Amino acid sequence: MKPILHYLLLLLLFFYIFSCKTTNIEPEIEIDEEIPPPLNVNCKEKSRLVYSENNQLVYESYNEFDPQGNIIKSIGTLDKNSSSPIKYERTYENIYDSKNNLIVSTSYFNKGFVQKDFYEYYSNNKLKKRESALSDGRIYYVNEFNEKGLMTRYYYAYYKNSYDEKLTTYNSKGKLLTEKTIQDGVFSSSEINEYDNNNLKIKTTNTFSDNSIQTILFKYNSNKKLIEANYNYGVQIKYIYDNGLLVSEQTFTPREGLVREYKYEYNTLKKVIKDIIYYYDFGINYVEHEYFYHTNGEIQKIIYAGLKPSMPNEFYTSGEISYDDKGNTIESISYNENGSVQERAKSSYFCK
């Protein structure tokens, strides 16, 4: 991807994502484990700096917030080290209701109108709906939520007559029951989940636009731990535990047998400190992650690496991601195959 496109994409993502990020380590298929809730901290990115492999600053952004913690100004520069850097400024006018909930946010990009966001709330102040409209009045982005804060509808129109829509329902315990995906008004796919009396998922049925159907049956041990996921086309995933901790996740296919395996290692506090993903069908290539923690249990750093591939057109990846004790990404570094820095990004945060 060309540098300018890369940073334009960063900018577009930046416009819509301002909440703090927490990192969860979960196996590929959802497993009913007791996961401690994230810290209740409202953090938003205050600055972001991106450096190229020769340590030159190529992208920068800075944000200002109002007393309620919502963004009111964002400034930055794309392709900063080029002969024609692109500077931008985006400002926001925010309106609140009597409960101090944001109800309207109007934004301007380089002093030109960009969009208007509308927010609706339940009586418990949980967000009920968000709509985003462009300068021509067209609604292009919608999120709807139930009173528990779970998303029930997602809508995004990337062109006037092209859009993606997702409709979701849940059971009384908040587990996903059904999900239907629509593209340009046409059915794309659906998911239906079934649960037992312990609210453990026992079956998933996926239906696709060509009317093909995929079913997955789940089996559990006496401790309610997932031990098998069996697909109707023959793929099987087995989950192996040691003292209640998941230590191996193995994927089998009818033709090749064992094709992939996740292995997990833990510290004395039962937190994952290493996982290794083996791709046996690709010449036993693997990707490894190491995890380090703050004293409060939040992840402090993840170091990842993949061995040089033996298959053509595959890629090598390695790097590290650092977090503060609230779960926010403060630095990420990616490395070239020779160990030199490919890209480095640093962020700071405003937390209420």
User: pLDDT tens digits for 302-311?
Assistant: 999 886 555 5
Please write down the HEC assignment for all residues of the chain. Answer: CCHHHHHHHHHHHHHHCCCCCCCCCCCCCCCCCCCCCCCCCCEEEEEEEEECCCCCEEEEEEEEECCCCCEEEEEEEECCCCCCCEEEEEEEEEEECCCCCEEEEEEEECCEEEEEEEEEECCCCCEEEEEEEECCCCEEEEEEECCCCCEEEEEEEEECCEEEEEEEEECCCCCEEEEEEEECCEEEEEEEEEECCCCCEEEEEEEECCCCEEEEEEEECCCCCEEEEEECCCCEEEEEEECCEEEEEEEEECCCEEEEEEEEEECCCCCEEEEEEEEHHHCCEEEEEEEEECCCCCEEEEEEEECCCCCCCCCCCEEEEEECCCCCEEEEEEECCCCCEEEEEEEEEEEC
Does the residue 212 lie in any domain?
no
Does the residue 140 lie in any domain?
no
The total domain count for the chain is: 1
Q: Mean pLDDT, to the nearest integer, of 137-142?
A: 91
Between these two residues, 8 and 275, which has the higher pLDDT value? Answer: 275
Does the residue 324 lie in any domain?
yes
Does the residue 271 lie in any domain?
yes
Percentage of the chain with pLDDT > 90? Answer: 71
Does the residue 62 lie in any domain?
no
The predicted pLDDT at position 308 comes to 54
Does the residue 25 lie in any domain?
yes
Does the residue 281 lie in any domain?
yes
Tell me the pTM.
Answer: 0.80
Q: Mean pLDDT, to the nearest integer, of 219-228?
A: 96
User: pLDDT tens digits for 188-197?
Assistant: 999 999 999 9
User: pLDDT tens digits for 10-41?
Assistant: 333 333 333 333 333 333 444 433 333 334 35
pLDDT-based confidence at residue 342 (cuts at 50, 70, 90): very high
pLDDT-based confidence at residue 155 (cuts at 50, 70, 90): very high
Enclosing domain of residue 12: 1-43+234-352
User: pLDDT tens digits for 241-279?
Assistant: 999 999 999 999 999 999 999 999 999 999 999 999 988
- CATH code for the domain of 349: 2.40.128
Mean pLDDT score of the chain, rounded to an integer?
Answer: 86
The predicted pLDDT at position 195 comes to 97
Helix, strand or coil, per DSSP, at residue 187? strand
The closest of 171, 233, 178 to 198, measured between CA atoms, is: 171
Does the residue 197 lie in any domain?
no
User: pLDDT tens digits for 277-287?
Assistant: 988 877 667 88
